[in-house]
């Protein structure tokens, strides 16, 4: 594969290398606060996929297979030779599942944080019409395609709440980068392409049968917290409960990919567990050392 120009940061000087794959539409700036707590024990590689931040515009479709291959090229480029721990959050977890099947020999351990499942389609087969209309892939694809046609100024306005959530957490320089990140039309085009490929990703991941038998920690959100969040979004409580029960089943299934897998429930946390409960992520990462 041709060498790609991907934006990355290496933080920390610990013996064990830790690679982080972010969720869909998320930047590595989300991870800065938890990384500060991990840098004594780990050398952490944060990076932006093609189409994110200052990484180059994608030249191939945004499948988890292409993303895994591109990450592997980056790790060769920065000369990561020893086995490492790979973390994936949300859609990043789907990318990690694919990476693990393609490059099992490179991994020391895996952590999936409220990860999208390779069987995610089961969430759409529930009797949850209101929820399905909210999370429909077609709607998310269309919404991001529409956003990709907006100007920088319009996107800055549209994403102002997301951007302002970083205030007081980052330096002025990093705040400027966050603003750039969320007001870039390429990001939205890329997100649409990532969503577009979910069905294909799921089938491709399932077609590679072997998952490495290595330590695997699956951390799942607190169902009750998530249910309350859905209800605030106007989802009927019954639908929220059905959805969260299925989500938990899929997390449990992920934890069984390896004989060394464990399922951990992050109490009092919604989807962004690394922000809501960094202590849990920190604790279980150290068990992989």
Residue 15, domain CATH:
3.40.50.1820
- Evaluate whether residue 235 is within a structural domain: yes
Distance linking the first and last C-alpha atoms of the chain: 31
- Evaluate whether residue 203 is within a structural domain: yes
- Evaluate whether residue 184 is within a structural domain: no
User: What pTM, to 2 d.p., does this model score?
Assistant: 0.97
pLDDT tens, N- to C-terminus, the chain (289 residues): 677 999 999 999 999 999 999 999 999 999 999 999 999 999 999 999 999 999 999 999 999 999 999 999 999 999 999 999 999 999 999 999 999 999 999 999 999 999 999 999 999 999 999 999 999 999 999 999 999 999 999 999 999 999 999 998 999 999 999 999 999 999 999 999 999 999 999 999 999 989 999 999 999 999 999 999 999 999 999 999 999 999 999 999 999 999 999 999 999 999 999 999 999 999 999 999 9
pLDDT of residue 87: 98
- Evaluate whether residue 151 is within a structural domain: no
Structure tokens at 238: 């019954």
- Evaluate whether residue 153 is within a structural domain: no
pLDDT of residue 128: 98
Q: Is 270 helix (H, G, I), strand (E, B) or coil?
A: coil
**Structural domain tally of the chain?**
1
pLDDT of residue 230: 98
> For residue 26, what are the CA distances in angstroms to 72, 81, 92, 93, 288?
20, 27, 10, 13, 25
Structure tokens at 280: 């849990």
pLDDT of residue 2: 72
Residue 287's Cβ-side half-sphere holds a number of Cα atoms within 13 Å equal to 16
- Evaluate whether residue 67 is within a structural domain: yes
User: CB–CB of 268/88 below 8 Å?
Assistant: no
- Evaluate whether residue 159 is within a structural domain: no
Domain that holds residue 241: 8-123+197-286
pLDDT of residue 223: 98
* Residues sharing a CB contact under 8 Å with residue 184, sequence separation 6 or more, in sequence order: 53, 152, 155
Residue 61's Cβ-side half-sphere holds a number of Cα atoms within 13 Å equal to 9
- Evaluate whether residue 97 is within a structural domain: yes
* Residues sharing a CB contact under 8 Å with residue 189, sequence separation 6 or more, in sequence order: 51, 144, 145, 148
Structure tokens at 201: 């990703």
């Amino acid at each position: 594969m041709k060498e790609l120009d991907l934006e990355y940061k290496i933080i920390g000087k610990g013996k064990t290398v830790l690679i982080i794959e972010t969720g869909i539409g998320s930047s590595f700036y989300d991870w800065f606060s938890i990384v500060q707590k991990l840098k004594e024990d780990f050398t952490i590689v944060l990076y932006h996929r093609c189409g994110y931040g200052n990484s180059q515009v994608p030249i191939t479709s945004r499948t988890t297979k292409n993303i895994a291959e591109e990450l592997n090229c980056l790790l060769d480029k920065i000369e990561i030779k020893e086995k490492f721990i790979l973390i994936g959050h949300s859609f990043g977890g789907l990318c990690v599942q694919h990476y693990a099947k393609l490059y099992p020999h490179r991994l020391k351990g895996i952590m999936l944080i409220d990860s999208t499942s390779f069987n995610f389609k089961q969430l759409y087969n529930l009797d949850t019409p209101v929820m399905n209309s909210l999370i429909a892939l077609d709607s998310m694809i269309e919404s991001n395609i529409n956003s990709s046609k907006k100007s920088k100024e319009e996107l800055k306005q549209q994403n102002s709440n997301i951007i302002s959530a970083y205030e007081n957490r980052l330096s002025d320089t990093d705040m400027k980068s966050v603003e750039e990140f969320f007001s870039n039309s390429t990001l939205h085009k890329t997100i649409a392409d990532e969503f577009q490929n979910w069905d294909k990703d799921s089938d491709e991941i399932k077609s590679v049968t072997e998952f490495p038998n290595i330590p695997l920690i699956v951390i799942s959100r607190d169902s009750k917290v998530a249910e309350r969040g859905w209800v605030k979004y106007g989802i009927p409580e019954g639908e929220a409960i059905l959805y969260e029960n299925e989500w938990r089943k899929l997390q449990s299934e992920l934890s069984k990919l390896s004989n060394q897998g464990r399922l951990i429930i992050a109490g009092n946390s919604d989807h962004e567990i690394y922000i809501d409960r960094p202590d849990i992520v920190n604790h279980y990462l150290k068990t992989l050392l």
